[in-house]
Amino acid sequence: MNYRNKQQGVVLVIALIALMAISLAGVALMRSVDTSNVVSGNIAFNEAAIQMADIGAEQAYTEIMGNLSSNPNSCQFVAANCPVNSAGQPYFYPNASALDVTTRLPSPVGGLNWSKPLSQKLPGDTTASYSVHYLIERMCGALVTGNAADNTANLQTPATFLQCRVVPIYDTPIAPSTDSTPLTGLGKLFYRVTVEVTGPRNTRGVSQYFFGIQDAVN
């Protein structure tokens, strides 16, 4: 008598279930690796954008030093005489701008669309298709016009000290017991530089720098 049982196919079903589970695990692992690579790439692009913002800051500092002048007709006093970019839009402002409530970026009078390279752009393209543009503002609460009638000619005190929040530069005391006194005609004016960097994969980085520049203030 033959007592052998017929094959019921249970082993085959279990094998198929195990194979499906292994396949799903493999797909999930591949997706996880792909996501990790994308995240790592995005972080690398963002870090590069932040580092490249220093390029714009250095260029802006050079322009600030090149525009220091006590001439009443200079950019320090007359906004219309400040440098403009290739689009004919100013990027160097003798007074501080209000911040946009949405982007928290400076929004000069007349508007500045930061989604387009309208602020000053560095000559040529930078490495890996990064674009660097920047905006310079002197941290004055009101425009110092240079007109003698409003007591701001040649950065006269007290107008400029009050409007531009100038930090006096003090002389070194002769003896430890004596007080230091402000140096006549010298003060530290502050400039705010906002740098925007755009790059691959819609990378965008924004950095702000403050420079304290010694200048004549009376």
Is the pLDDT score of 79 beyond 60? yes
Where do we find the tokens 């929004």?
Answer: 107
What tens digit of pLDDT does each residue of 160-169 get?
A: 555 666 666 6
| 156 pLDDT above the threshold of 50 | no
> What residue has token string 């393209």?
125
Residue type, 154: N
pLDDT tens-place string over residues 164-203: 666 666 655 555 555 555 555 567 778 889 888 887 777 7
For residue 158, cis peptide bond before it (omega within 30 degrees of 0): yes
- pTM flag (> 0.85): no
Extract the tokens encoding 129. Answer: 């298709």
Helix (H) or strand (E) holding 22: helix 10-66
Provide the token pair at 125: 């393209």
Instruction: Give pLDDT tens digits for 48-74.
Output: 777 788 888 888 888 888 877 666 677
Distances (CA, A) of 213 to 11, 32, 106, 169, 176: 82, 51, 21, 11, 27
Query: Cα separation of 167 and 10, whole Å?
Result: 86
Q: Taking the domains of the chain in order of start, what are their residue ranges?
A: 10-216
Q: What's residue 167's pLDDT?
A: 66
Write the secondary structure of 82-103 as one string of H (helix), E (strand) and C (coil). Answer: CCECCCCCECEECCCCEECCCC
Among the ranges given (11-20, 53-62, 81-90, 176-185), the one the predictor scored with the smallest mean pLDDT: 176-185
**Which pLDDT score, from 0 to 100, does residue 1 have?**
55
So what's the pLDDT on residue 89? 74
Kindly state the tokens that stand for 7: 């094959």
